[in-house]
């Protein structure tokens, strides 16, 4: 475990794309923890990063370790490219291209369902893991996302809880997706 986004647990330096990924995860976890604390009055403390097989980050909730798997939700390929610096041949581009063919109301439903499906099959070395989805798109507002979550087919799988942080800056109330 390490709180340094630039290094692995063994002290080795991460490459640029790994550092960018960790920074996004760290920022999302920090915003989620802050919003959760504000919304529910339960302190979440200390973020540290994990190596693969474990969820992305860990923290403490009510004195017990809680692992957080972090995912970002994008509405448009330019958002993802800007945020993550991905190449045009990345599979993410194909997914974002699919979104263009859907109605405005179906786009967030499709995006969330696809993200949930991709996480559902994974196994995490953790006793307690929550999935935190951060909306990275200014295109989708909280009201649209709330409506979209009511149309999802959700199975918690490995996740004790699934949460949606509906805005990039973490200023709006969280949306509980599961249970």
Supply φ then ψ for residue 175, to 5 degrees: -115, 120
Render pLDDT for 147-171 as a digit per residue (tens, 0 to 9): 999 999 998 889 999 999 999 999 9
Q: Is residue 35 part of a domain?
A: no
Overall average pLDDT of the 72-85 stretch:
68
pTM, entire model: 0.84
Q: Does an H or E element contain 73, and which?
A: strand 64-73
Q: Is residue 165 part of a domain?
A: yes
Q: Is residue 26 part of a domain?
A: no
Q: Is residue 172 part of a domain?
A: yes
Tokens of 12: 């080795």
Overall average pLDDT of the 41-52 stretch:
91
Q: Is residue 170 part of a domain?
A: yes
Overall average pLDDT of the 91-114 stretch:
78
How many structural domains are present in the chain?
1
Residue 119: how many other CB atoms lie within 10 Å: 17
């Amino acid at each position: 475990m390490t709180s340094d986004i630039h290094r692995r647990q063994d002290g080795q330096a991460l490459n640029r794309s790994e550092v960018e990924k960790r920074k996004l995860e760290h920022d999302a976890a920090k915003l989620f923890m802050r919003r959760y604390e504000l919304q529910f009055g339960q302190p979440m403390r200390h973020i540290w990063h994990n190596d693969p097989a474990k969820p992305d980050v860990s923290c403490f909730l009510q004195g017990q370790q809680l692992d957080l798997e972090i995912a970002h939700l994008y509405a448009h390929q330019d958002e993802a490219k800007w945020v993550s610096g991905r190449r045009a041949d990345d599979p993410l581009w194909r997914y974002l291209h699919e979104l263009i063919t859907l109605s405005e109301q179906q786009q967030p439903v499709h995006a969330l369902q696809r993200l949930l499906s991709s996480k559902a099959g994974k196994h995490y070395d953790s006793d307690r893991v929550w999935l935190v989805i951060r909306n990275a798109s200014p295109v989708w507002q909280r009201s649209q996302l709330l409506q979209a979550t009511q149309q999802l087919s959700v199975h918690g799988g490995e996740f004790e809880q699934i949460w949606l942080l509906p805005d990039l800056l973490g200023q709006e109330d969280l949306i509980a997706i599961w249970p």
